[in-house]
Amino acid sequence: MPNSSPPALARLGELRSQGYAYRSLRDELRSNLERCMREGKPIFEGIMGYEDTVIPALENALLCGHDVIFLGERGQAKTRMIRGIVGLLDEWIPEVAGSEIHDDPFNPVSAYAREKLARDGDDTEIAWLHRDDRYGEKLATPDTSIADLIGDVDPIKVAEGHHLSDEYTLHFGLLPRTHRGIFCINELPDLTEKVQVGLFNVMEERDVQVKGYRVRLPIDVLVVASANPEDYTSRGRIITPLKDRYAAQIRTHYPKQRSLEVAVANQEAKLPEVGEAKLFVPDFMQHIVAELTFQARSSADISQASGVSVRMTIANFETLVANALRRALVLGEPEAVPRISDQPAMLASSRGKIELEYAGVERTEDEVLAELMQRAIRVVFEERVEEAQVKPVVEAFDQGWQVEVSAAQASASVLEGLDEITGLREVAASLAEGDSDARLASAIEFVLEGLHLANKLNKESVEGATRFGQLRTSA
C-alpha cells in the first residue's frame, strides 16, 4: 500500500511549473541508491547473510545501470532481492493519463502519448503512478511466447482499420507495459530459444519490435532474472548472446552459519497460536532444526545441484511447534515446548524438499531424513553438553535406571523419578532456559537422545514409546 497520497498536480503545465524534469530509470535508481547509502538506510529489508556478498554486488550493478541475473539454488531469496529493488524507485512519478505503457510527459515513446501531448500541450492530463505498479514479473515456462513478453498484432484493431505497420495495431506485452519500471523473469532457462532471441533488442538496443513490422518502441526498463546455476551453465539452456547481455551475474548462497539459519527461520516462520497455551522453543531445538538442513546440504545422498532450501528449515520449525502445541492442547498443559520425540512429525514437512541422488533405489527418503535428524541431534548435543556433566547420569543408568518417553506423554510424567538419577536434573536445567515441567521435559529428552547417539545409553522402542537404559555391550 502507498505510504502517501499522490501529488495533486493534474495537468502538464502544473507539472512544468513545479520544475519537474525527465530522468531515466537507471538515473532514478542510482540517485535513490546513493541517497540511501549516504544516509545509512537499509536497502533490502528482511534479507540476512548477504551484507558482505550479494548486496554489495547488486549495489555495484545498480550504480552501473546493469541488467542483472541472480544465480542460485532454490530458497536463496532471489525473488525477494529482485522485488526489493522496487524500494529504490521514486514513490510517485507522473505519466500521460491513459497511456498503456506509462509514458513520461516529457519523454513520450508511444504514438498515443505523442499525439495527445501535441494536441493538448500544457492541458494534457497527468496521472500518478506508484512504484509498486512499476514492477512486472513472469515465471518463465516453455509455453511463454513472444506475444506474452513483447506483444503481438491485435486482429481486432486491424479490423477497425489500422494498418499493420501502425503502432495502434499492437497489443503490448508485459515488457512494454513495464516501461519505466523493473521487469523480472524467474527461471529464465525455461524460456524457449525463440523467446530468448526476442529479448535481444530489449536488453541491448532498449526497444521492442513485433513480427518484423516497422514499429520501434524505445522502452526504459531494468530487466532482472533468476536461474538455477546448473540450468544456466551446464545444460546449455540459455543461448550465449542472451548471457552476454546480462552485464551483472550475481551468485546467491545459503546461510553460512547455523545461527543465521535459525534467525531466518524465526523471522519467516508463521507459528500457530491456539488457545491459551504459551509457546516456547528451546535454543537447542531451534539449532537441531537448522542443523538438519545443514546436514542435508552436505549429504552425499542428496542432490546438491537442486539445493536444500531455507524453506525446509522454516517448514520444519513450524511443524515441530505445531506438534508440541497439539500435545499441550490434548493434555491441557499450560506451555507447549517441542521435544526430540516431536521430530518424526518433521518428516511430513521435509519430504519433497530434498532430491535423492539415487532416486530411492538404495534407501527411502524417510530413511535418509531419519539418519540426518540423528546427525543433527548429535552435533548440537556435542556442542552444548560436556562429557563431565553427564558422567553421573551415565553411571546412574549403569546401575539399572531406565526412562521411558513419548511424544504423547505429559511433561510431569517425564519428570517422575528425575531426582533419583544423579545429575540429570542439573544438566537438564542448564539447557531448559526455565524451570517449567515442559521445558525440563524437553531438555531431558535431548540429553537422553544425545547420550544414546554418543553410545552412552541403549535405546529401544516399546509400544509407541522410547525406552532409554544401560548400554548393552557384547560379551
Contact indicator for 89, 183 with CB cutoff of 8 Å: no
Which H, E and C letters describe the chain, residue by residue?
CCCCCCCCCCEHHHHHHCCCCCCCHHHHHHHHHHHHHHHCCCCCCCCCCCCCCHHHHHHHHHHHCCCEEEECCCCCCHHHHHHHHHHHCCCEEEEECCCCCCCECCECCCHHHHHHHHHHHHHCEEEEEEHHHHEEEEECCCCCCHHHHCEEECHHHHHCCCCCCCHHHEEECHHHHCCCEEEEEECHHHCCHHHHHHCHHHHCCCEECCCCCCCCEECCEEEEEEECHHHHHHCCCCCHHHHHHCCEEEECCCCCCHHHHHHHHHHHCCCCCCCCCEECCCHHHHHHHHHHHHHHHCCCCECCCCCCCHHHHHHHHHHHHHHHHHHHHHHCCCEECCCHHHHHHHHHHHCCCCCECCCCCCCCHHHHHHHHHHHHHHHHHHHHCCHHHHHHHHHHHHCCCCEEECCCCCHHHHHCCHHHCCCHHHHHHHHHCCCCHHHHHHHHHHHHHHHHHCCCEEEEEECCEEEEEECCCCC
pLDDT at site 277: 81
C-alpha 77/C-alpha 226 separation (Å) is 10
Which architecture characterizes domain 12-251 according to CATH? 3-Layer(aba) Sandwich (3.40)
C-alpha 197/C-alpha 403 separation (Å) is 67
**Grouped pLDDT means (10 residues each) for the chain, 475 residues:** 81 93 95 94 89 95 95 91 95 95 94 93 95 95 89 69 64 90 93 87 76 73 91 68 90 95 94 81 97 95 89 96 93 94 94 80 85 96 94 91 90 88 92 94 95 93 87 60
Residue with cell 520501434: 216
Domain edges within the chain: 12-251, 258-470
Rg value, the chain, Cα: 30
Specify the length of the chain in residues: 475
Contact indicator for 454, 381 with CB cutoff of 8 Å: yes
Q: Grid coordinates standing for 110?
A: 508511444
Antiparallel, parallel or unpaired: β 181-186 and 135-139:
parallel
pLDDT at site 362: 72
C-alpha 173/C-alpha 188 separation (Å) is 17
Dihedral Cα 284, 279, 264, 286, nearest 10 deg? 10
Residue with cell 542432490: 303
Q: Is 126 left (phi over 0), alpha (psi -120 to 50) or beta?
A: beta
Task: Identify residue 96 by its one-letter amino acid code.
Answer: V
